[in-house]
Amino acid sequence: MLTTDDVIATIKYLVKLHAGELETVGGSGRSIIVETDDIDHFGNRRIRNVGELIQNQVRTGLARMERVVRERMTTQDVEAITPQTLINIRPVVASIKEFFGTSQLSQFMDQNNPLSGLTHKRRLNALGPGGLSRERAGFEVRDVHPSHYGRMCPIETPEGPNIGLIGSSPRTAGSTPSASSRRRTARSSTPRSPTRSTT
List beta partners, residue 174.
Answer: 182
Percent of the chain with pLDDT over 90: 17
Contact 96, 58 (CB under 8 A): yes
Which of 15-29, 109-123, 161-175 tops mean pLDDT? 109-123
Q: Where are the beta strands (DSSP E) in the chain?
A: 23-25, 31-33, 123-125, 166-168, 173-175, 181-183
C-alpha Rg value of the chain to the nearest Å: 26
Please give the residue that has the higher pLDDT: either 66 or 180.
Answer: 66
**Residue ranges covered by each domain of the chain:** 4-36, 50-183
What's residue 179's pLDDT? 54
pLDDT tens digits, one per residue of 56-88? 999 999 999 999 999 999 888 888 888 888 899
- Regarding pTM above 0.75, the answer is no
CATH of domain 50-183: 3.90.1100.10
Is residue 133 helix, strand or coil? coil
For 106, list phi and psi in degrees, rounded to 5: -95, 125
Residue 127 DSSP class: B
Cα 59 from Cα 65, distance rounded (Å): 10
What's residue 198's pLDDT? 39
Cα 129 from Cα 53, distance rounded (Å): 10
Cα 120 from Cα 168, distance rounded (Å): 8
User: Of all residues in the chain, what percent are helix, strand and coil, respectively (each to 5)?
Assistant: 40, 10, 50
pLDDT tens digits, one per residue of 183-194? 554 443 443 434
List beta partners, residue 107.
Answer: none
